Chains A and B, each alone.
Chain A
């Protein structure tokens, strides 16, 4: 089968690789029909996630058709079209039983700080991902969700990560009616989080980035205010001023470890790797939120550590909330939002690329060329 093959930082290729096999009675093999490159895949691509082994296949956002099932799989059958949550969850451990499906205790032997994630390094379990024609899906009785017949596959594939992560980012913000919400990062997650903030009653949604075409896109798609931090002397002062010198009620970090905008953070986090990436967005979020406000974090940071103003979290009484999205918990509600037309995930897609051209797809997304917002890869596997 054709699959992505990681060869080292900034180097990926598509090539023929062995077919995945059923390794556990609750496994399924899925023939991938759509898969995306996620902004967090770029952290792997840039060599920033420890234990990313050469020969791995990335891809945690994918949908497809059940091709084969293990002997104990009863909830899906061969031929079902399914969307597969990006996090691998057993549904039985005490974390899963309480809805923390992004924190399953039985899907990752290699780290306790993160549950299993498809195609996201050995730190996240060492699974191959969906940027391939076929992929092994563990816990097939629990994770894969049958796609409603009337749902566009482009919408479905964005329900595996982008929409739930963004929605949970807004949800974790504890947004109250009338709140001012600031979203850092106008990538697919930030744009969708800004869109979702309205669902919780925000009165004002502001998005901050430095890439003009993305700010313009965000303004139109999420109906929010959009500002370029490069046009400001100091983004924190700007945000204080625009909130009556009070601070935003809620700040959401949708950037993670590859932020720009602060020389010290960039040098220590991206140039010298003295910390797990540049935590500029998180620093701004903490410093821009009001006293007693909430900072919600869905931007991905590496496991060692980051320089963040934790003293300000204490002194301002900030609540810091963060997690990998609990996709399975949110799916029923989000499917309803999509089917009713309230959310239009596929509106984020700007590029559709054959899997064969994955090297160029990564380069375009990584360097934000051709006004790229979201890339969908289309494998061409045939029976």
Chain B
């Protein structure tokens, strides 16, 4: 850390009212002063980076351990790589990540189909419990959707005429 005035402790009044108990994060934080050592602490052995790992540009190195699940791939992966070029402060980081998640949901369906799996979307959404505990709500939703669809179709047909 660069301290411009090395003699700061000789400034009149310096440190007179230090009160370590006046720590706004107490009792969550047991303040030791180690914060001023920054990243100078004993680190464990670095986990081997054997998958593509997107790293926040707000830190210089990978964390000692990390999750190696679901590395970026496909179109969503391209969007995620773009997002990680920007800091966590920027919308250009977070909004592309949300977009990538939506794209990724479609990629998941394609991935399933490529493996010969037809995703049972209704089961994945918990249709069994829906029918058991919310049959009325489910039926209402179906009826409203059907009614809106019929009205839309009728409106489009009328417009064509």
Interface positions of A (Cβ within 8 A of B)? 7-13, 23-27, 47, 50-57, 72, 88, 90, 92-94, 97-100, 105-113, 116, 122-123, 125-128, 138-139, 168, 171-172, 273, 302-304, 319, 321, 323, 326, 329, 357, 359-364, 367, 369-370
B interface, over-half SS:
loop
Contact A54 to B126, CB < 8 A, known contacts A92-B42, A92-B44, A303-B94:
no
Interface positions of B (Cβ within 8 A of A)? 24-25, 27-32, 34-35, 37-39, 41-45, 47-48, 53-56, 58-59, 62-70, 76, 80, 83-84, 88, 91, 94-95, 97-98, 100-102, 104-109, 111-112, 119-121, 123-126, 128-130, 133-134
Residues of the A chain whose Cβ atoms lie less than 8 Å from the Cβ of B106:
8
Task: Determine whether the beta carbon of A125 is less than 8 Å from that of B67.
Answer: yes
Task: Determine whether the beta carbon of A128 is less than 8 Å from that of B44.
Answer: no
B128, closest chain A residue (CB): A360
Contact A109 to B59, CB < 8 A, known contacts A8-B108, A98-B34:
yes
| Those 6 A-B pairs whose CB atoms lie nearest each other, nearest first | A363-B126, A8-B105, A126-B67, A127-B67, A54-B108, A360-B129
Contact A12 to B59, CB < 8 A, known contacts A90-B44, A126-B67, A126-B68:
no
Residues of the A chain whose Cβ atoms lie less than 8 Å from the Cβ of B107:
54
Can you show 21 pairs from A to B with CB atoms below 8 A apart? A8-B105, A12-B124, A26-B44, A27-B65, A47-B101, A51-B100, A53-B69, A54-B111, A56-B69, A56-B70, A98-B34, A98-B35, A106-B65, A107-B65, A110-B84, A112-B59, A139-B44, A139-B65, A360-B129, A362-B126, A364-B129
Task: Determine whether the beta carbon of B123 is less than 8 Å from that of A100.
Answer: no
- Cβ of A324 to closest chain B Cβ, rounded Å: 10
In the assembly, what is the distance between CA of A9 and CA of B29, in Å?
Answer: 36
A interface, over-half SS:
loop
In the assembly, what is the distance between CA of A66 and CA of B32, in Å?
Answer: 33
Q: Of B28, B45, B134, which contacts A172 at CB under 8 A? A: B28
Residues of the A chain whose Cβ atoms lie less than 8 Å from the Cβ of B43:
90, 92-93, 106
B23, closest chain A residue (CB): A98
- Cβ of B106 to closest chain A Cβ, rounded Å: 8
Residue with the greatest number of chain A CB neighbours at <10 A, chosen from B31, B55, B128, B129: B129
- Cβ of B16 to closest chain A Cβ, rounded Å: 24
Residues of the A chain whose Cβ atoms lie less than 8 Å from the Cβ of B125:
10-11, 359, 363
Task: Determine whether the beta carbon of A111 is less than 8 Å from that of B105.
Answer: no
Task: Determine whether the beta carbon of B32 is less than 8 Å from that of A98.
Answer: yes
- Cβ of A298 to closest chain B Cβ, rounded Å: 12
In the assembly, what is the distance between CA of A305 and CA of B65, in Å?
Answer: 28
Task: Determine whether the beta carbon of B41 is less than 8 Å from that of A92.
Answer: yes
- Cβ of A112 to closest chain B Cβ, rounded Å: 4
Residue with the greatest number of chain A CB neighbours at <10 A, chosen from B43, B44, B123: B44
Residues of the A chain whose Cβ atoms lie less than 8 Å from the Cβ of B55:
109-110
B58, closest chain A residue (CB): A112
Task: Determine whether the beta carbon of B69 is less than 8 Å from that of A127.
Answer: yes
Task: Determine whether the beta carbon of B126 is less than 8 Å from that of A98.
Answer: no
Residues of the B chain whose Cβ atoms lie less than 8 Å from the Cβ of A99:
28-30
Task: Determine whether the beta carbon of B88 is less than 8 Å from that of A23.
Answer: no
